[in-house]
Amino acid sequence: MYKRLLFFAIIALAFSSSDDWAEYLGGADRNHYSTLTQINPTNLDQVKVAWEYSLPDSGQMQVNPLIIKGILYGVSASVQAFALDAGSGREIWRFGDPVKNWSSTSRGVSYWTNGIEKRILYTAGPNLWALNAETGKPISSFGDQGKIDLHLGLPAIAANKFIISNTPGTIYRNLIIMPVRLSEGADAAPGDIRAFDVITGKLVWTFHTIPYPGEKGYTTWPKDAYKNTHTGAANNWAGMAVDNEKGILFVPTGSAGYDFYGGNRKGSNLYSNCLLALDAKTGKRIWHFQTTHHDLWDRDLPAPPNLITVTHRGKKISAVAQISKQGFVFLFDRESGKPLFPIVEKKVSASTLKGEKAWLTQPFPTLPKPYARLSSEIGLNDISPYAENREELLSTLALVNRAWHAAPSEKGNLILPGYDGGGEWGGAAADPQGILYVNSNEMGWIQTMVPAALVHNPAAKAYQSNCISCHGTDKKGNPLSGYPSLVDISSRKSRTYIQQIINNGKGMMPGFSHLSSSEKENILAYILNEIPKEVVSSKTKGYQPPYQMTGYNKFLDSKGLPAITPPWGTLNAIDLNTGKYLWKIPFGDEPALAQKGITGTGAENYGGPLITASGLLVIGAAKDGKLRFYESKTGKLLRAIQLPAAAFATPSTYLVNGKQFIVIACGGTKLGTPKGNKYIAFSL
């Protein structure tokens, strides 16, 4: 019976239609590419809204929807899965609890079929659900009445630690391999890569990203790091790609926790910040490449790699291209892991923080050149004449360390590309000719470290240990960076509401389920300026880094605009056959300046491009909330359509009843943009 199901799964894969958008980002290669040509550069003036689907909840939606046999599968802002008639937008079913499952964002669902049965797999909170694709009902034979807890298969030290998944799992035959988002602090769970049986929900294999004794990479960490409660993460959160023919799974991983201080994890820290090539059937390592050694800058690999074919030295080569937050493209032979362009180890500075030991070299690809500027390459914004603090900004720029990969310090560093890239989770698109299309952020951030104070007030200690990085020492946060102020929050939100967020998280904020009830009460007391109900020891349980970052602070002027010279977002076409750029343009407009007639600045952007065989590049992503159509060969802007809310998501395209559609989720919210609740489909 089991072999029969596997046979049908392979047959179903072989007969997937080019009219569909059947996998996350368009296919197992994650290339965002479609062979459809009905919508093309000659008829864009005829493109109009075909249908809209409005959800009862609004908020950020990062979803790249799937379309299979005329049915669209997506996820709402409150993480409810749904199915629509892809030709009309009519709802067929919706699953999920909008109250319990609002603690994360989602980038979509996975689809599996054996040719007879059809399943949708998606996550809400810590649970992976298997739903009947036709009815939306849980499949009771999968796990526990249709779901498994993503803690399954992790060691005991991960019990009760924060875990969700923002990105759809990767399907390989009868397996689903799951990305997971974990805490980025010293309390992070280990980021083991795990494959589950798509039929039963049982764990099939595990790859340890923090190696166990006897495993390759074990000596790149302190002894027994794998079982320390304060050494975790090195997880895949951005998703994976799989070569179904060769049976190779490509897994990009993120940093180890704590993100910004690693004195407790001396060494290069394999397999954090790596592109891993694993045997998809067994999880055995084939090869790896580490893109950041001993990460102290949150340089997670932010998107799935692209599986492409290039011509290199006169030979066709199956290659894998990995974008990065640093603005690099790392290009490898898919089977051997050999770089196709030289990658050199470039010297960087030592750490000045007590107990820290920064790695003294970092990988630097010689080709392609970075698609984002480095921190040493910029000056002060000269097109925002109404900024009132120019002298202050000049002083900051002169004082901070601007060296490439400068180790975190109390003096402060300019991080460019910033914590959000360069490249981000929207990922790059690629066409069959080996051209890579990537949108990039160009936002500077200031990283400053401070000694962890010996705080005697237990409420202040709990806040400092868990909240300071995002909300700051003064609780003012940085709303322009997406981190809200907590000052006087009691006048805006109820105590119960705040308590629920501390427990469960919200949006990109993790919940603090790993903390004791007294520690959570102390955080609540500090936020609300209350006297702690329970006075506990000032010695917080477990390891606490001796230094903490003061916050995720963008380098902005007094008007909230980027303080560095534009462009603040770019769109790039890179020929990976040669490593040369075909074109590079500013992408998006800063809305505040566009209103004053200043355009071409580029803007922050989240979400990726869509490429079609008709020569179109279609992308939302930018802060200004437009859907743009470009000529993919030249980068020429052909048309821009204003959306009802910014679309921080990657569009999908498909054919139903002979008509091509392009659909995108418009949830807004991020970067201070208005909320939205619509999926919008366009056609001729």
List pLDDT tens digits, range 388-401.
788 888 888 888 99
Q: What is the band of 103 on the pLDDT scale with cuts at 50, 70, 90?
A: low
| Residue 177 CB partners (closer than 8 Å, separation 6+) | 169, 170, 193, 194, 195, 196, 240, 242, 249, 251, 280
User: What is the pLDDT of the chain when averaged over all its residues?
Assistant: 90
Contact 169, 162 (CB under 8 A): no
| Residue 253 CB partners (closer than 8 Å, separation 6+) | 191, 209, 234, 235, 236, 271, 272, 273, 274, 275, 276, 300, 301
pLDDT for res 11: 46
Distance from C-alpha of 340 to C-alpha of 322, rounded to nearest angstrom: 12
Average pLDDT on 210-234 reads: 94
CATH homologous superfamily of 453-544 equals Cytochrome c-like domain (1.10.760.10)
CA angle 476–482–484, rounded 5-degree value: 30
> Residue 219 above 70 pLDDT?
yes
CA angle 639–329–447, rounded 5-degree value: 95
Percent of the chain with pLDDT over 70: 88
Q: 490 φ, ψ to 5°?
A: -65, -20
Higher pLDDT, 457 or 146: 146
> Residue 508 above 70 pLDDT?
no
149-162 confidence digits (pLDDT tens): 999 999 999 998 99
Lowest mean pLDDT among 26-35, 117-126, 465-474, 629-638: 465-474
Distance from C-alpha of 10 to C-alpha of 3, rounded to nearest angstrom: 11
pLDDT for res 109: 98
552-563 confidence digits (pLDDT tens): 899 998 888 999
Q: What is the band of 610 on the pLDDT scale with cuts at 50, 70, 90?
A: very high
The residue ranges of every structural domain in the chain are 453-544
Residues in a beta bridge with 572: 438, 584
Higher pLDDT, 123 or 492: 123
pLDDT for res 207: 98
The DSSP annotation for 353-407 comes to: STT----SEEEEESSSPPSS--GGG--B--S-TT-S-HHHHHHHHHHSB-STTPP
CA neighbor of 542 nearest in space, from 154, 150, 157, 126: 157
277-316 confidence digits (pLDDT tens): 999 999 999 999 999 999 999 999 999 999 999 999 999 9
Residues in a beta bridge with 441: 569
Torsion of CA 402, 407, 413, 418, to 10 degrees: 90
> Residue 540 above 70 pLDDT?
no
Amino acid letter at 619?
Answer: I
Higher pLDDT, 352 or 6: 352
pLDDT for res 527: 77
Distance from C-alpha of 375 to C-alpha of 445, rounded to nearest angstrom: 10
pLDDT for res 15: 44
Contact 243, 308 (CB under 8 A): no
Average pLDDT on 29-56 reads: 98
> Residue 469 above 70 pLDDT?
no
Longest dimension (CA), the chain: 73
pLDDT for res 535: 47
pLDDT for res 517: 73
pLDDT for res 473: 65
